[in-house]
Amino acid sequence: MERIRFQLEDLVTKAAEQCRSEQAFNYSDLPEFAIETPRDEGHGDFACNVAMLLARQARMAPRKIAEEIAARIDVSSVTAVENVEVAGAGFINFFMDDVWLAQVPSLVTQMDAMYGCNPSKRKRIQVEFVSANPTGNLHIGNARGGALGDSLANILIMDGYEVSREFYINDAGNQIDIFAASLEARYLQLLGHSISFPENGYAGKDVADTVQRFIGLHRDNLVELDSEERRRRLVDYALEEKSDYMLKTLADFGVFYDVWFSERSLHESGQVAAVLNALRAKGYLYEEDGALWFRAGNESDVEKDEVVVRANGVPTYFAADIAYHVDKFERGFDRVINIWGADHHGHVARMKSALKAMGYDPDNLDIILMQLVRLFRGTQLIKMSKRTGTTVALDELIEEVGRDAARFSFVMRSSDSGLDFDLQLARQKSLENPVYYVQYAHARIMSIHRQAAAAGVKLIKPEQLDYSVLGSAEKELLRKIADFPEEIAIAARTLAPHRIARYAMDLATIFHSFYNHHRVLNDDESLQNARLLLVELVRITIKNALTALGVEAPDHM
RNA sequence: GUCCCCGUAGCUCAGCUGGAUAGAGCAACGGACUUCUAAUCCGUAGGUCGGGGGUUCGAAUCCCUCCGGGGACGCCA
């Protein structure tokens, strides 16, 4: 379909140039205009806005310009163009011959599971998402990040990028020390020693359970050791257990990673120290109150400088994060995308500023700030608290509402919007739940195929399609199907997976309406053949859209 | 105080890099199952796109400002 757009663009450009040479009107540069798909069918298959954009330069009413251009468009050079009209403020509308829609069936059936994919961009993108602290279970916000990141990665792949999914394990730093102290306290308490629990410690039941399992394996072996060694052994055990569980839970959620990257490894390899040295050499670091600060303040959009090494000599999370992002770009990614919770937004400008200081182009780093999720059960808000462990974790969420409903709910909304997730609503298999609406369309089509097979009706090949039997309802479906690769491109460009959820719902709507008005299996053989092929194209497209979102396309419901 | 997100129908939201008469779902009301799955469809009703300026041929969309809601401003991550 893209080819048609280029051809039309070319037609318009030539016609405009001809206008200039014939002095119909004058302009110096032809503005970058659009060949868009009008919302209203009455406005044709494609519309061009060039006349409005030329109005100022040409000093002529847009409508008049459009007429001059339209009169010079050579329709015969592109066979698929049937008619050109000027409408509205000065739109040039193209009405296409059926020829171009007739290309859709063979395209879809040939590409099948690949339909929607765009040509290779020959670029590598890394998507880093979830990256939860391995000190607790995955919560509802991580679930949104997981659904979003995984879908985005799928969409980028479809749009022709090479994509690597990455999880950054925060297995170093302050919170790990607190975690270790909490583990130690629980360990000693469970073995009957009277010891106070750290004030800011991890008091959740899951932490106690982890310690209990450790005791089951190793009994009281650690009691006699010194505290540092005891903590090290406990935390190593706990981090491994927690990470494994996260991996498993994310896999249950349909999320798989290419790389698990350890923060601790950055310290151990000396990369953090190396980055600090480099920044110091470039004059970006200074000392104040005993700590080492990164000078980010030169950039107008950065509020404050940030500490990279504390007064006690320990590097901060930020220091490690700079080293981490340097490492990402050193691995050769053309573009790096992070999905962060909105509460991290203060970090964005400083991170970019640090990357710039290190000699990288900060524009190659995109950070999606995902607004926070509130969890409800009916009208009751469920408060999140990592410390007390009262939140609903991702594994419980999957258990309660199912993977498909959960993933679709998270990904159907723009990441810019806050999300209220109602457990009661999500578990209902009802109208409130758009995922079933889309899945139902797929199941219905599968049912038609089963009936067809039972009656001995075979699916025809696209080249056998009698195009003339298709009515306006069928053509509307074909047009929507034809849009899919472009939808993928837009979703990839704007980093907005929710567009694909929206698209799937729209396509399902058109299909359900068609289904209720027309029978696929009927007495007219050529009509039946055409419709059966058509619904198969719908099925492929819906399935590919759902797959991009990590949602199943069921055969039965 | 500074910064980020949001404000569109009664509710939940979509609206792509400005484009033609602002769209869905839910809720309300009225219809459609002896026929491929009624988890569906068809119709009716519902809007000063938070307010005010500005840019433009054209603004829900871009800029400024004010109001309202949420969030962040730590030698935590």
Tens-digit pLDDT profile for residues A94-118: 988 877 788 899 999 999 999 999 9
Residue nearest to nucleotide B69 (CA to C1'): A418
Interatomic CA distance for residues A470 and A226, integer angstroms: 81
Percent of chain A having pLDDT more than 70? 96
Structure tokens at A426: 């999500």
pLDDT score recorded for residue A179: 94
Give strand letter and number of the nucleotide nearest A452 (CA to C1'): B36
Q: Are A130 and A138 in contact (CB under 8 A)?
A: yes
Write the ipTM. 0.94
Give, as one character, the DSSP assignment of residue A29.
S
Block residue for tokens 């990357």: A355
pTM check: above 0.80: yes
Mean of all residue pLDDT scores within chain A: 90
Structure tokens at A420: 């209220």
pLDDT in tens, A153-182: 999 999 999 999 999 999 998 889 999 999
- In terms of Cα–Cα distance, which of A403, A430, A423, A367 is closest to A552? A403
Q: Which A residues 343-372 have CB within 7 Å of strand B?
A: 343-347, 369, 371-372
- In terms of Cα–Cα distance, which of A486, A491, A418 is closest to A152? A491
Is the Cβ atom of A36 within 7 Å of strand B at any atom? yes
Is the Cβ atom of A524 within 7 Å of strand B at any atom? no
Is the Cβ atom of A557 within 7 Å of strand B at any atom? yes
Is the Cβ atom of A457 within 7 Å of strand B at any atom? no
Q: Which residues of A256-293 are buried (b: 16+ CB within 10 A; e: fewer)?
A: ebeeebbbeebbeeebbeebbebbeeeebbeeeeeebb
Structure tokens at A475: 């053509």
- Kind plus residue range of the DSSP H or E element containing A162: strand A162-169
Interatomic CA distance for residues A443 and A427, integer angstroms: 19
pLDDT in tens, A329-362: 999 999 999 999 999 988 898 899 999 999 999 9
pLDDT in tens, A424-444: 888 776 556 889 999 999 999
pLDDT band at A42 (very low <50, low <70, confident <90, very high): confident
The distance (Å) linking the CA of A521 with the C1' of B34 is: 18
Is the Cβ atom of A312 within 7 Å of strand B at any atom? yes
